């Protein structure tokens, strides 16, 4: 099994992903979670560059590669972690990234066998994230690198509506894809979680957050539906 790296979602720390990390390790995948703390996201607020996250991702990928006999790993990005991973795979300078001690520009994608995104908003109408996502989609549209297997997992759990219990989903979907009355995982609408040319999956009754008291993408009962794509 290839070593696997988990990149947490926006404003989330590594601790929330430890159960998923342990589940993958139990299945034979040497697994590493990028050791983010919630405060590590503060420099990125307001649509600012995600450079600090890319730095920690790169350090963790290098750690995982040291245990790989093939020179490749799997990369799992939850929520914003998915589109940040797409920046990491890329070879074009991302603000100051070309000045960082990252894997040589243009080489990172050669080390990724599979990029698997969980509830990632690959598009956005929200002005604070629009610049970053426009950079990603303008430079690396869809399943951009032929040598990388792209797998995008979406949840079909809540239909957004302007009524109690569904208003948060409606608002989040509208800010993401411009339409509130659609299906998604409560935060990310299905239409935003998929990429053209990727292997796109839809899972019923899966909630967005690893802190949800209900089933989320990394819950033990959901894991078998997508883990086979990492083998």
Residue at 125 is within a domain: yes
Confidence class for position 91, pLDDT limits 50, 70, 90: confident
Domain count for the chain:
1
* Mean pLDDT for the stretch of residues 37-51: 92
Residue at 11 is within a domain: yes
Confidence class for position 231, pLDDT limits 50, 70, 90: confident
According to the model, what pLDDT value does residue 37 have?
A: 96
Sequence-distant (≥ 6) Cβ neighbours of residue 190 within 8 angstroms: 154, 155, 156, 182, 183, 184, 202
Please name every residue paired with 78 in a beta bridge, in sequence order, or none if there are none.
118
- Asked if 5 and 74 touch (Cβ cutoff 8 Å), the reply is yes
Confidence class for position 15, pLDDT limits 50, 70, 90: very high
Where does residue 164 rank: exposed (0-12), middle (13-18), buried (19+ CB within 10 A)? exposed
Q: Among 117, 119, 84, 86, which residue's Cα sits nearest to residue 190?
A: 119
Q: Among 52, 92, 28, 12, which residue's Cα sits nearest to residue 230?
A: 28
Residue 138 per-residue DSSP state: H
Distances (CA, A) of 128 to 90, 134, 176: 22, 11, 11
Residue at 202 is within a domain: yes
pLDDT: is 98 or 228 the higher one?
Answer: 228
pLDDT one-digit tens code per residue, 62-72: 999 999 999 99
d(C-alpha 165, C-alpha 91), whole Å: 42
Neighbouring C-alpha atoms within 13 Å toward the C-beta of 127: 0
Domain that holds residue 82: 4-154+187-230
| Percentage with pLDDT > 90 across the chain | 84
Domain CATH for 226: 3.40.50.1820
- Asked if 67 and 99 touch (Cβ cutoff 8 Å), the reply is no
Residue at 168 is within a domain: no
pLDDT value at 97 more than 80:
no
Residue at 207 is within a domain: yes
Please name every residue paired with 149 in a beta bridge, in sequence order, or none if there are none.
114
According to the model, what pLDDT value does residue 46 have?
A: 87
d(C-alpha 47, C-alpha 199), whole Å: 29
d(C-alpha 84, C-alpha 26), whole Å: 27
According to the model, what pLDDT value does residue 127 have?
A: 83
pTM (2 d.p.): 0.94
pLDDT one-digit tens code per residue, 157-183: 999 999 988 999 999 999 999 999 999
Residue at 45 is within a domain: yes
Residue at 51 is within a domain: yes
According to the model, what pLDDT value does residue 93 have?
A: 77
Residue at 224 is within a domain: yes
pLDDT value at 47 more than 80:
yes
According to the model, what pLDDT value does residue 213 have?
A: 93
Distances (CA, A) of 198 to 80, 99, 150, 167: 17, 31, 5, 30
């Amino acid at each position: 099994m290839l070593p696997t790296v988990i990149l947490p979602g926006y404003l989330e720390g590594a601790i929330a992903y430890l159960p998923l990390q342990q589940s993958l390790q139990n299945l034979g995948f040497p697994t590493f979670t990028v050791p983010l703390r919630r405060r590590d996201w503060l420099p990125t607020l307001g649509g600012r560059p995600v450079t600090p996250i890319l730095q920690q991702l790169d350090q963790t990928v290098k750690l995982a590669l040291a245990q790989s006999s093939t020179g490749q790993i799997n990369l799992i990005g939850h929520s914003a972690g998915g589109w940040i991973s797409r920046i990491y795979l890329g070879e074009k300078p991302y603000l100051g990234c070309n000045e960082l001690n990252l894997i040589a520009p243009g080489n990172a994608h050669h080390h990724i066998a599979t990029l698997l995104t969980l509830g990632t908003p690959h598009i956005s109408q929200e002005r604070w994230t629009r610049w970053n996502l426009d950079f990603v989609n303008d430079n690396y549209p869809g399943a951009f690198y032929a040598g990388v297997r792209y797998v995008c997992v979406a949840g079909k759990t809540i239909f957004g509506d302007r009524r109690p219990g569904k208003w948060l989903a409606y608002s989040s979907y509208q800010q993401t894809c411009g339409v509130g009355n659609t299906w998604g995982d409560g935060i990310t609408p299905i239409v935003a979680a998929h990429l053209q040319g990727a292997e796109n999956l839809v899972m019923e009754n899966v909630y967005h957050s690893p802190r949800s008291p209900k089933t989320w993408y990394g819950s033990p009962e959901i894991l078998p539906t997508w883990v086979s794509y990492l083998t």
